[in-house]
Structure 1
Amino acid sequence: MTSIGTGDEHTHSLDNISDSELESVLRKRGSDFDAMLQNHKEQKQFEHGVARSLKEMGREVEMASRLTYNDELIKWCDVVVPCGGDGTFLLAASRVRDAEKPVIGFNSAPHKSVGRLCLPTWCSNDVKGALHALKEGRFRWMRRSRIRTTITCEPKFLDTITPVDLHTLHYSRYPAVVHPHDSTDAPTTNEQFTTEERKSVLHTKVLPFLALNEVFIGESVTSRVSLLRLQIDKGAWTHTKSSGLCVTTGTGSTSWHFSINCLRTHSVLELMKILSEEGVKVDTTLEKAREIAERYNQRLMFPPESDKLAYSVREYITFEEWPAPRGLRVRDRAAAVRVRSHCVDAGLVIDGSVSFPFNDGTEALLEIHPEDALMTVHMDDALPY
């Protein structure tokens, strides 16, 4: 059994530095060092409490941070137990490829966050009770679909598609990228490959991380337009200019996907007033607007075990022809999404944690396979006794 806690990112990013020097650096940049230290102590105390309770039940336990969590530990253990919040759970889950290896998370700070992927709040307040409930089978197994990402690019670039841990990255920029069209080595127009010829020289690579929430693709500099070509299922390719693409699972449909697409009550109220001004009989009260917004927003969410993806093109820059707009729907569900990059300094980010370079000419296929589903548990929110 492996217990995963949050890592010491500040110490890791500042190598060969003493505790007193680290404190000085953090205070000088305006961080609340005392609060950070208190949070750190509470986190470690909680992690060790979970490990101690497991050992008292006769279980063998290995503890790891995000910096020491590796494939060898994952293969060794029977179950992975993240201690933190949803971010820690996502980090732990992304590396587990075995569909029969459970990931069961404890929210180490239930007074600060909900931790929707973790066990209920009462479990954090009564770790021993929660472990005994698990031992006695007072739960139901749950499988959450995850996104598999397959990268396609020229063989010479395949080795550069390596992960960057965003939690430990100080400067979140990739090395400078030379745009292929600006390179002296770029082929002339007459030397361009046809689509079939190009496919014959490209290589593919399945990324070693599975996304439980979402995959986001876009330029590293958020103010830069992301140029992406999209193919939804087996439809036509569409060129898009936007602030990036978010592809989510049912689990992630309550998170970023929801935030991108949800309607606010005041927006619905404004639309209802416009309809009323146009002669449409409609209730323009605030309560009715709130009800309509709620019904719309509920439809954005779908079950975590769904075999469908949902995609959202953020702030799509388009020139629509009324009444028939060109291009694809900016939000929809699909069985698979294929993305081709025309970006210059972009990243493909898995669950907001791990990023891969995704620049001009690189292609990604995002899809769900039943064998990639994550095994976890669902327990009642109420105390079991």
Structure 2
Amino acid sequence: MVALVESNPRSLFLIAELRRPDPLNPVITAGAVRCLPVKLSYYLYEGSSSSVSNLHSTLAYFYSSYEQDITKSALSLQRVLIVYKFSRFERERARHPYFTEKELICNLKAKGSIFTGLKERYEIHQRHLDELVCILKRRGSELKAISVVEYNSSHLDDADTIISAGGDGTFLEVSSKVKGGSRIPIIGINTDPERSAGHLCLRFASCDGKPRGLEEVVQRLLIGQFKWLKRNRIQITVVYSDIDKRILPDLALNDVLFVENNPSKTCYYEIEVCGLRDRSGRQIINIKEKQKSSGFLVSTGTGSSAWLFNTKKLWKDDVSELIKIVERRANVDLSHLSVGDITDEYNESIVYPPDDPRMKFGVRELINSGIFRGHVHKGYAHKIIIKSRSEARLVIDGARSHQLHPGTSAIFEIVPSQAVHTVSF
């Protein structure tokens, strides 16, 4: 039960009590919770009927955040599906099956790649994969290991846990087959931690900085020494006409790019951003405008440290130039300021939690001219609608693509029930 208290016609406040449920299926009951009304008022649409419709998803988000630090629940790892990456070395061998080693070396050299380097990375990955399999078998797990190129949704039927053995690309591919509402957790294991960032994978370093081996990682999963983490995904509804609307089967864990079919051409589209805050940061507004740009990127909290981060981050030399302009215009000395600290603080603000119910967007190279004057170039939103005015496409997580013809719209929303469940240390 949820109690709503309307303090004035433009604000909704919530009083609710959180009780500990299954960490993968939060339940919210009536009562009172300290500090939650203030936090929730930030995310709800003020003065909008959509506040009520978004109430449960917002509650689920804050409930998971509240419970995250106190919930301990071990993984059984009884029926484990391991999906491992298909390395560049393996791809090249598969592409040229009749090449001798010498011929493959020459072929790779012509492409600017080094055979020994690719082979070494493959062998490191394989050693970690073999070690992981041995550890799980020794602990009694029933295993099935397949390459990511063979992987499909049917492999999920008998698994209680999925382990993605590779890097972020492997994790993204694995999660793409996990449908909304699935309770199967995905555990990312970085099999080449020296060369792969592995932001979606468990860290191979303990809090004191000492190396953590796979044996310890598995042990912590079995005894529940981890935190549950929900990574929200973007659901896309394509509107072809008033009576023809289809929800795409592909969910975006990182981001969705709206872009012209021909990347050298400018995108022309209409956008409607719902739930955007004004410059004061207080009032939530909806904005609708026509734009031209080189693309429109919509990101989740998970993707905010990836492509979106690199499109919106500042560089130190740009910050330095701005400081010089301010010094000249204001006739002040700002030499005491640290360019590096200012740059880092701004860039760190781009990244936000993966379980946040909002999306973040960034317009690439927004055109401002005498005809087109775009105002919205970045921000958070609860809902985004893009109507294409040219031949364009949606690229989901950099891997899957859907065509958008002129007049076709795409609606972007985060639905908490579509989240991927994983863990962190």
TM interval, shorter chain, is: 0.7 to 0.9
Q: Which residue of 2 aligns with 1:225?
A: 266
Instruction: Tell which has more relative contact order, 1 or 2 (C-alpha 8 A, sep 6+).
Output: 1
Unaligned stretches of 5+ residues in structure 1: 154-197, 380-385
Kept in 2: contact 1:341–1:360 (CA 8 A): yes
Using a 3 Å threshold, how does the CA distance of structure 1 residues 26 and 357 change in structure 2: closer, same or farther?
farther
Q: Return the alpha-carbon distance in structure 2 between the equivalents of residues 347 and 45 of structure 1.
A: 40
Question: Are the equivalent residues in 2 in contact too, given 1:95–1:208 (CA < 8 A)?
Answer: no
Deviation string 1:160-190 (CA, Å, 9 cap, x unpaired) is xxxxxxxxxxxxxxxxxxxxxxxxxxxxxxx
| Amino-acid identity (%) | 29
Measure the CA separation in 1 of the matches of 2:306 and 2:124: 26
Please name the residue that 2:10 is paired with.
none
- Separation in 1, partners of 2:94, 2:246: 33
Counterpart residue number, 1:129: 216
1:199 equivalenced with 2:242 (yes/no): yes
Q: Count matched residues.
A: 328
Do structure 1's residue 242 and structure 2's residue 293 form an aligned pair?
yes
2:416 corresponds to which of 351, 370, 383: 370
* Distance in 1 of aligned mates of 2:351 and 2:318: 20
- Once the two structures are superposed, the pairs formed by residues 194-343 of structure 1 within 5 Å of their partners are 198-200=241-243, 203-233=244-274, 235=286, 237-281=288-332, 283-285=334-336, 287-319=337-369, 326-343=373-390
TM-score, length basis structure 2 = 0.70
Check the 8 A contact 1:225/1:242 in 2, yes or no. yes
Which of residues 140, 148, 154 is equivalent to 1:72? 154
Find the counterpart in structure 1 of residue 59 from structure 2.
none
Q: How far, CA to CA, are the matches of 2:403 and 2:227 in structure 1?
A: 38
For residues 273 and 384 of structure 2, the distance between their equivalents in structure 1, rounded to whole angstroms, comes to 5
1:361 shift after superposition: 3.2
Report the Cα offset of residue 311 of structure 1.
Answer: 0.6
Aligned to 2:40: none
RMSD: 2.7
Q: Deviations over 1:216-253 (max 9, x none)?
A: 12134432212222111284542221111110111111
Between the aligned partners of 2:313 and 2:134, the Cα distance in structure 1 is 43
Q: Following TM superposition, by how much is the alpha carbon of 1:5 offset from its aligned partner in structure 2, in angstroms?
A: 1.2
Structure-2 change in CA distance of 1:151 and 1:13 (3 Å): farther
The equivalent residue for 1:100 is 183
The Cα of 1:362 is off from its aligned counterpart by 3.0
Cα deviation digits, residues 114-151 of structure 1 (max 9, x gap): 31211112488511221011101111111111111122
Superposed, 1:174-193 pairs within 5 Å as: none
Distance 1:14 1:106 in 2: 25
Structure-2 residue corresponding to 1:160:
none
* Aligned: 1:51 with 2:137: no
Residues 302-360 of structure 1, C-alpha deviations (whole Å, 9 max, x = no match):
22111100010100112279xxx94331001100111122333x431222222223343
Find the aligned partners of 1:261 and 1:61 in 2 and give their Cα distance: 42
Render the CA deviation track for 1:63-102: whole Å, top value 9, x for unaligned.
Answer: 1222211111123211111111112112212221244210
Instruction: Give the direction of change, closer, same or farther, for the CA distance of 1:297–1:38 in structure 2 (3 Å limit).
Output: closer
Contact 1:347 1:358 in 2 (8 A): yes
Partner of 2:27: none
Q: Are residues 36 and 294 of structure 1, via their aligned partners in 2, closer, same or farther at CA, if it must alter by over 3 Å?
A: closer
**What whole-Å deviation, never above 9, does each CA across 1:15-73 have from its counterpart, x for those lacking one?**
68435398265454443233223322332332232122212211111112222111111
The amino acid that maps onto 2:347 is N
Q: Name the structure 2 match of 1:183.
A: none
Alpha-carbon distance in structure 1 between the residues aligned to 2:330 and 2:369: 29
Point out the structure with the larger strand share: 2
Cα distance change, pair 41–298 in 1 and its aligned pair in 2 (3 A): closer
**Whole-angstrom distance in 2 between the partners of 1:320 and 1:252:** 34
Q: TM-score, normalised by structure 1?
A: 0.77
Structure 1 residues 243 and 355 mapped into 2: Cα distance closer, same or farther (>3 Å)?
A: same
Distance 2:182 2:213 in 1: 28
Please give the alpha-carbon distance, in whole angstroms, between the structure 1 residues aligned to 2:331 and 2:272. 38
Task: Write the distance in 1 (CA, Å) between the matches of 2:287 and 2:359.
Answer: 18
Distance 1:19 1:72 in 2: 34
Letter paired with 2:395: V
Aligned equivalents of 1:94, 1:78: Cα separation in 2 = 17
SS in 2 for 1:121: coil
In structure 2, C-alpha distance between the alignment counterparts of 1:16 and 1:112, rounded to whole Å: 25
Q: Distance in 1 between matches of 2:303 and 2:91?
A: 31
